[in-house]
Amino acid sequence: MSTQRDIDWNALLEVLVLANWNTRVVVLGVTALGIAGGVVGTFMLLRRRALLGDALSHATLPGIVLAFLVASALGIGGKSHGILLLGALVSGTLGIFAVHWLTSSGRLSEDSALGVVLSTFFGAGAALLGLAQQESSASAAGLETFIYGKTASMLVRDAILIGATSIATVGCCVVFFKELRLICFDPDFARGHGMRTGGYDFLLMSLVMAVVVVGLQAVGLVLVIAILVIPAAAARFWTNMTGRMLLTSGFIGGLGGWLGTMLSALAPGLPAGAMVVLALGGIFLVSLLLGRRRGLLRRIIRLRRRALLMERDHALRAIWECLEQSGTHDCLGSHIGFRRGWATFRTAKRLQHAGLLVVEAVEGGDERISFTPSGEREAASVVRRHRLWEHYLMRRADFDEQHVDRGADDLEHLLPIDLLEELEKELDADTRAMLPSPHSLHPDGPGGGGS
Amino acid sequence: MSIRTSQPSLGSEHSPDSPLSIHAMTVAYERRPVLWDIDLDITPGSLVGVIGPNGAGKSTLIKAALDLVPKLSGEVQVFGRPYREQRQHVAYVPQRESVDWDFPVTVLDVVCMGLYHTLGLFRPVNRRIRDRGMQALTQVGLSDFANRQIAQLSGGQQQRTFLARALVQDAALHLMDEPFAGVDAATEQTIVSLLRDLQSRGRTTVVIHHDLQTASEYFDHVLLLNTRVVAFGPTKEVFTPENLEATYGGKLTLLDQASQALAGHAQGVGR
């Protein structure tokens, strides 16, 4: 099967426009499942119940097999889908109550209880499955699909069930938005106001249960937790608001479902359940890197900006203090160590481009540096901020003269305006006048890129 | 759920107009008594500091009064009636550490939570709620931060957010759990003036406090607590070296010994 194939453009097009009826059913069903998983999963994550969801999905197995055994014994057709899902529902609920009972008596911590319930229920399910297959191997063959999922076998009525469940669960999350958010954020406060937090917790777990049960056939009980956890976890990198997180997470869930089933339809042999989870994993990775609020790239950019700001401030202050000491309007680059490091030289170039500095080449490879009017204003404010902070540290925090320069350096670049005003008040400083430096200035200036 | 068969039974022993009246209340965690036979009648309009060592049951006192932890025995009344009938008159400020400040909500969202109970089910937060939330934020000096995510606040600003969530309720009784813990000087001043303001408007406030230095300056009543009520009354009369010694004294009281023995026993059984 793994021989190289030419891309069959017709097949690709057929999948993309959902020409095939079967593909259409599967793609729409799984996309709806992804949306519901993303929305419900957001509250599950915020309530810190992700592992409970995992235990729940594993706890459905014995119920499915038992329902099958009972139904075939009664002769009402063991493969009746509704009966199997009902079994899953009952068994999952029992699993949750088992966890609740184990933890509420205070005998077991939550993670241990989850581990015990998850593995015991799943083990029981696996044992029953073996039994069922021995009894009636032919009709029990379909049961295994609940473990890893078999999306391709999805029927129209399955897709309709998923669609209806998605609408109902998403609707619940919208209608009870403020209550669910409150019990996730501050359950004690909610209870103090007379809210039945237990009831809302029950509602939340019922929503999780609904998504798990209808998702069993699509992605299987091992992986169904992924469509609840991954979209919400990824969405958190993009936003700082609960409402937007709900939207983003639903979108990511739907996108993952669509992408995964498409990939699986394009390459027969790749199971859709696994592809959906992999697609979600890919989206998570992208969110982790590029997320607008907490992504790594944003963090790196912020640190970089801060470093550039500090370099700029250092250079401006070095020049300003050099001019202050000499009482002239310009100074030589060599005097303030401009050629000492690449970083300072580059900073000078940047300041020149920004219209703050005038740099003229003079003989001997040196340059003459002076401020433009706006550069001088900017430099004065930088120096003033540095000195305010130095004075404050010396007076209030008992820094000595030698160390105050360094201590001020670390923080002054980040001081907000209102704090500066407070410093001024604290020091009774004139709001415009320049302060004297509290320590003697180094002969060649404090700049030089951290020498 | 609850079957209300009788009126508050011990009514005669409660002072009916007391904002918070606790009678014979005992609370235990896993058989270890945390609060023992508490009797209290908070004076209307007073500003009460609750003071005692770690583990004295200060937080538990408030939580038990609000039905957040189960009582072993005893009665709590708020303005002469059970708390569950008087919720709208009580504002609770939990400890700052009790929530996850990384949660994706804005400052204004949190403050509006104080008014959710005035909205019906299915009703989203509306303009009126947000306006009152903004007023409360202005009162605590955080109006510029309304749309920030709460993780971006300093510890003092987070505490002020919690205070605003309580203020927005316009309650007659405020119960605050360590509002001064780990806040900057500016926030401490804001809180003190807020407390004074509440008192000048006739409101009653009970504040758990950890700083003995400032206690007598901030509060007109103090409750010295160490599992039992050591002393309770006007600060001038109660805040004495002898009472503090009795509250914080290193000596094990008989009750401590008994409860430690019980805890040891429980552990022995558990293994």
The answer to whether B162 and B96 have CB atoms below 8 angstroms apart is: yes
Q: Checking phi first, is residue B30 left (phi over 0); if not, alpha (psi -120 to 50) or beta?
A: left
- pLDDT (tens place) for every residue of chain A, 451 residues total: 444 455 677 777 777 777 778 888 889 999 999 999 999 999 999 999 998 899 999 999 999 999 988 888 887 765 677 888 899 999 999 999 999 888 887 778 888 999 999 999 999 999 999 888 887 766 677 788 888 887 777 888 889 999 999 999 999 999 999 999 999 999 999 998 888 888 999 999 999 999 999 998 888 888 899 999 999 999 999 999 999 999 999 999 999 999 999 888 888 788 888 899 999 999 999 999 999 888 899 889 988 888 888 888 888 888 888 888 888 888 777 777 665 666 667 787 888 888 888 888 777 777 788 888 888 888 888 888 888 877 777 776 666 666 666 656 666 666 666 666 677 776 666 656 677 777 766 544 444 333 3
The residue with tokens 């009795």 is B246
Residue B176: pLDDT band with limits 50, 70, 90: very high
Per-residue model confidence as pLDDT tens digits over A73-131: 887 765 677 888 899 999 999 999 999 888 887 778 888 999 999 999 999 999 999 88
ipTM rounded to 2 decimals: 0.83
A9's tokens: 């453009």
Q: What number is the average pLDDT over the span B216-234?
A: 91
Q: Tell me if B109 and A46 make a contact (CB, 8 A cut-off).
A: no
CATH class of B11-240: alpha beta
Q: What is the mean pLDDT of chain B?
A: 85
pLDDT of residue B1: 40
Using the Cβ of B72 and the Cβ atoms of chain A, whether some distance falls under 8 Å is answered with no
Q: Report the pLDDT averaged over residues B121-128.
A: 86
Query: What percent of chain B clears pLDDT 90, i.e. is strictly above it?
Result: 52
- Cα A41 from Cα A231, distance rounded (Å): 7
Cα distance from N-terminal residue to C-terminal residue, chain A: 64
Q: What is the 3-state secondary structure (H, E, C) of chain B?
A: CCCCCCCCCCHHHCCCCCCCEEEEEEEEECCEEEEEEEEEECCCCCEEEEECCCCCCHHHHHHHHCCCCCCCEEEEEECCEEHHHCHHHEEEECCHHHCCCCCCCEHHHHHHHHHHHHCCCCCCCCHHHHHHHHHHHHHCCCHHHCCCEHHHCCHHHHHHHHHHHHHCCCCCEEEECCCCCCCCHHHHHHHHHHHHHHHHCCCEEEEECCCHHHHHHHCCEEEEEECEEEEEEEHHHHCCHHHHHHHHCCCCCHHHHHHHHHHHHHHHHHC
How close B236 comes to chain A (CA, Å)? 33
> Residue A194: its pLDDT value, please?
85
Question: What digits encode the pLDDT tens for the residues B240-265?
Answer: 888 888 888 754 455 555 555 555 55
Q: Enumerate the β-bridge partners of residue A330.
A: A370
Q: Do A192 and B68 touch (CB under 8 A)?
A: yes
Domain boundaries, chain B: 11-240
Question: What is the mean predicted confidence (pLDDT) over B1-20?
Answer: 55
Q: B104: which chain A residues are within 8 Å (Cβ-Cβ)?
A: 46, 236, 239-242, 245
Interface of A with B in 100-159 (CB under 8 A): 106
Count CB-CB contacts under 10 A for residue B131: 10
* Disruptive mutation site among B89, B116, B154, B184 for chain A (greatest number of A CBs within 10 Å): B116
Q: Cα distance from B161 to chain A (closest Cα, Å)?
A: 13
Q: What domains can you pick out in chain A, each with its CATH number? A: 9-294 (1.10.3470.10), 309-427 (1.10.10.10)
From A185, A192, A242, residue closest to B99, measured CB to CB: A185
Under DSSP, is residue A222 helix (H, G, I), strand (E, B) or coil? coil
A332, A367 in Cβ contact below 8 A?
Answer: yes
Whole-number pLDDT of residue A19: 72
pLDDT of residue A446: 44
Span A390-424, pLDDT tens digits: 777 777 666 666 666 665 666 666 666 666 667 77
- Mapped onto helix, strand or coil, the DSSP state of residue A176 is coil
What's the mean pLDDT in B201-213? 91
Position B8 scores a pLDDT of: 42
- Among A26, A23, A3, A2, which Cα is nearest to A13's? A23
Distance CA A84, CA A62 (A): 10
A chain contacts of residue B102, beta-carbon cutoff 8 Å: none
